[in-house]
Amino acid sequence: MKKAKESIWTRPMRTYFDDAEDLADAPSGGRTKQWLAGVVLAAVPIIYGSICIQRGHTTLFGRGGSSDLSGDAGFWLATAYIAAGAFLHFHYFWSLSERLWPFSQFAKVLSVLVFLPSFLYALYRTFF
């Protein structure tokens, strides 16, 4: 008997933890994915965060709406956006490069170490 093809309806359910665990490993793909995800996609939050730092206010995007932040909260949220873009770059560009792969794990950890306190401090400054 032939095994049925796996589809969106028959594959096992994934959680956010499964997706986060996948970010720790190197992605699969070739040069196209490396350049599109590692440069083009990663450039979006990096450029946005840089523009927000220059303008002095940042938008916190959410499901229920968005809010504009300025001052310390805006600066640190923009820094978190830049760190998120750096993580995407290290994950998709460096991890798919044979020459840069040995440094990609350290760079991803470093970007997370910048992202977490920046994002949490921005939230703290916003709500407290």
Q: How far apart are CA 59 and CA 17, in angstroms?
A: 26
Task: Evaluate whether 90 touches 111 at the Cβ level (below 8 Å).
Answer: yes
Does the CA dihedral 91-93-110-69 come out positive or negative?
negative
Q: At which residue do the structure tokens 């040995």 appear?
A: 102
Each of the 128 residues of the chain gets a pLDDT tens digit; together they read 566 666 767 777 778 777 778 887 888 889 999 999 999 999 999 999 999 999 999 999 888 888 899 999 999 999 999 999 999 999 999 999 999 999 999 999 999 999 999 999 999 999 88
- Cross-strand bridge partners of residue 61: 66
The full set of domain ranges for the chain reads: 29-59+68-127
pTM for the whole thing? 0.84
